[in-house]
């Protein structure tokens, strides 16, 4: 019989994040070019007598193990949809920075949806998983799909973006996280100083065609030049030291630099794998970040890495893959 399922799920960076005005529901309309990169969490789902969460990895101590954890919320939501008691142990091995602007919690929510679906044999359609993902959070649908995608609405309405080849990124993590609502709130506050922050006062968010062309042609220089994040000023306002990190990366040869999503992780583009390794070493040595890691992308979204154990037709139990 099947014992446990492990799902691997990547982090994201927003190669571009255009933020519209604050809507009446409190969210902001966005045009987000989500880009999945090879920094991963793994979520292992095992049958248990009750819903239980454990967390390992860097900064595990900052991740909630109560029902507010996005992985727990995902199990509860999928269970409620299919009338299943969500009695599972969810073990999260964190490789994605916590509260770092790289959708770590969202990744775990997406992974738990995929893992519980496989464990319970619910066979949910992709469209159902995407709908539940959007209910969990604006970034969760993209964690499910991975690749590169344009996110509209509050970020949950996805359209795949064609890309060529692989791009080389470096991610510089910071001590301590930033709260996503606080960064959006700071963005509104800064906008109030210069003309208003509501839906009617801020232009409709749109993507830059130069970014889409850079992705389509696989040109890292053009990607670096087209990076843009409307939340960056707010993240820098809340954490001024991030300017030093961005400058250190640019001085060390990055061909593009921006704050990742709501921060405080800073993201840099390098021309190839060797340049990314050198840039990560220089950033780590600069003392302007906790550590810097290279990662390639795009990569797929949440995927099963260990399939259920199933009885072989004429023999002992074996792995399905
Ligand atoms: C900054 C990004 O990571 C960029 O991809 C996302 O916009 C944030 O997505 P997320 O963490 O999944 O956020 P959610 O869990 O949906 O929302 C958390 C809070 O962030 C703010 N929020 C989020 C998304 C959005 N489009 N507008 C917002 O104003 C709201 O205050 C909301 O209450
Ligand atoms: N599985 C989880 N992993 C990490 N944080 C979680 C998780 N579930 C809930 N949280 C809560 O969510 C907060 C934000 O963490 P997360 O790592 O998702 O931030 P983020 O990467 O900045 O998110 P995003 O980029 O989607 O805005 C944490 O401070 C924590 O309280």
Answer whether 207 contacts ligand 1 (Cβ < 6 A). no
CB within 8 Å of 9: residues ≥ 6 apart: 40, 41, 42, 43, 107, 108, 110, 111, 114, 143, 301, 302, 303
Catalytic residue among 41, 59, 117, 139: 139
Beta strands in 58-145 (DSSP E): 88-94
Pick the atom of ligand 2 nearest to 138's CA.
26
For residue 149, how far is its CA from the centre of ligand 2 (angstroms)?
Answer: 21
**What is the distance in A from the centroid of ligand 2 to the CA of 101?**
8
Ligand 1 and 139: CB distance under 6 A: yes
- Summarised one tens digit per residue, pLDDT across range 83-122 is 999 999 999 999 999 999 999 999 999 999 999 999 999 9
Read off the pLDDT of each residue in 266-283 and give the average, rounded to a whole number.
98
CATH of domain 5-161+300-315: 3.30.230.10
Nearest to 103 by CA among 48, 74, 142: 142
Residue 318 is predicted with a pLDDT of 39
Mean predicted confidence (pLDDT) in 24-43: 98
Is there an atom of ligand 2 within 6 Å of 98 CB? Answer: yes
Query: What number of CA atoms fall less than 13 Å from residue 274's CA on the CB side?
Result: 0
Q: What percent of the chain has pLDDT over 70?
A: 94
Q: Coil, helix or strand for 308?
A: coil
In the chain, where the domains are located: 5-161+300-315, 167-297
Mean pLDDT of the region 218-239: 98
Would you state the pLDDT for residue 74?
Answer: 98
131-170 pLDDT, tens per residue?
999 999 999 999 999 999 999 999 999 999 999 999 999 9
Q: Which of 12, 41, 59, 94 is catalytic?
A: 12
Structure tokens at 181: 């609502």
Question: Ligand 2 centroid to 165 CA: how many Å?
Answer: 30
User: Mean pLDDT across the chain, nearest whole number?
Assistant: 94
17 lines ligand 1 (CB under 6 A): yes
- Percent above pLDDT 90 for the chain: 91
Residues sharing a CB contact under 8 Å with residue 152, sequence separation 6 or more, in sequence order: 29, 30, 31, 32, 159
- For residue 134 and ligand 1, the question of a CB distance below 6 A is answered with no
Query: pTM for this one?
Result: 0.94
Nearest to 186 by CA among 40, 28, 31, 310: 28
Return d(Cα 148, Cα 142) in angstroms, integer: 9
pLDDT for the residue numbered 316: 46
pLDDT computed for residue 198 by the predictor = 87
Query: Does 167-297 carry CATH code 3.40.470.10?
Result: no
Q: How confident is the model at residue 310 (pLDDT cuts 50, 70, 90)?
A: low
Structure tokens belonging to residue 308: 């259920």
Q: Cα–Cα distance between 65 and 130 in angstroms, integer?
A: 24
Contacts of 36 (CB under 8 A, 6+ apart): 10, 11, 12, 142, 146, 147, 148, 297, 298, 299, 300, 301
Mark whether 219 is an active-site residue.
no
Asked if residue 126 lies in contact with residue 289, where contact means CB atoms within 8 angstroms, the answer is: no
Write down the pLDDT at residue 249: 98
| Residues 272-299, mean pLDDT to the nearest whole number | 98
Indicate the pLDDT class of residue 317, thresholds 50, 70 and 90: very low
Evaluate if residue 173 carries a pLDDT over 90: yes
The reported pLDDT for the residue numbered 3 is 85
Q: What is the mean pLDDT of residues 54-77?
A: 97
pLDDT tens-digit readout, 181-222: 999 999 999 999 988 888 889 999 999 999 999 999 999 999
Q: Can you give the pLDDT at residue 319?
A: 40
């Amino acid at each position: 019989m099947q014992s446990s399922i492990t799902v691997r799920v990547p982090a994201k960076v927003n190669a571009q994040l255009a933020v519209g005005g604050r809507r009446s529901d409190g969210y902001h309309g966005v045009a987000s070019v989500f880009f999945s990169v090879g920094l991963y969490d793994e979520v292992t789902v095992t049958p248990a007598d009750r819903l239980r969460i454990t967390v390992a990895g860097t900064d595990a101590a900052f991740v909630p193990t109560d029902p507010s954890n996005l992985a727990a919320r995902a199990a509860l939501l999928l269970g409620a949809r299919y009338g299943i008691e969500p009695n599972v142990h969810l073990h999260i091995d964190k490789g994605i920075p916590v509260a770092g602007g790289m959708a770590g919690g969202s990744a775990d929510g997406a992974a738990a949806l995929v893992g519980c679906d496989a464990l319970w044999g619910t066979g949910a359609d992709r469209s159902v998983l995407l709908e539940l993902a959007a209910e969990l959070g604006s970034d969760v649908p993209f964690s499910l799909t991975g690749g590169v995608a344009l996110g509209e609405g509050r970020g949950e309405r996805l359209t795949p973006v064609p890309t060529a080849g692989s791009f080389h990124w470096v991610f510089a993590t910071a001590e301590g996280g930033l709260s996503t609502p606080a960064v959006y709130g700071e963005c509104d506050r800064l906008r109030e100083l210069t003309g208003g922050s509501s839906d009617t006062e801020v232009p409709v968010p749109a993507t830059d065609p130069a970014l889409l062309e850079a992705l389509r042609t696989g040109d890292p220089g053009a990607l670096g030049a087209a990076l843009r994040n409307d939340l960056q000023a707010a993240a820098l306002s809340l954490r001024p030291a991030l300017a030093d990190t961005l400058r250190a990366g640019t001085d060390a040869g990055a061909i593009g630099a921006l704050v990742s999503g709501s921060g405080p992780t800073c993201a840099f583009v390098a021309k190839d794998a060797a340049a990314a390794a050198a840039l990560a070493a220089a950033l780590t040595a600069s003392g302007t970040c906790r550590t810097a890691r290279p990662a390639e992308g795009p990569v797929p979204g949440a995927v099963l890495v260990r399939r259920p154990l199933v009885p072989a037709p004429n023999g002992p139990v074996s792995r399905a893959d």
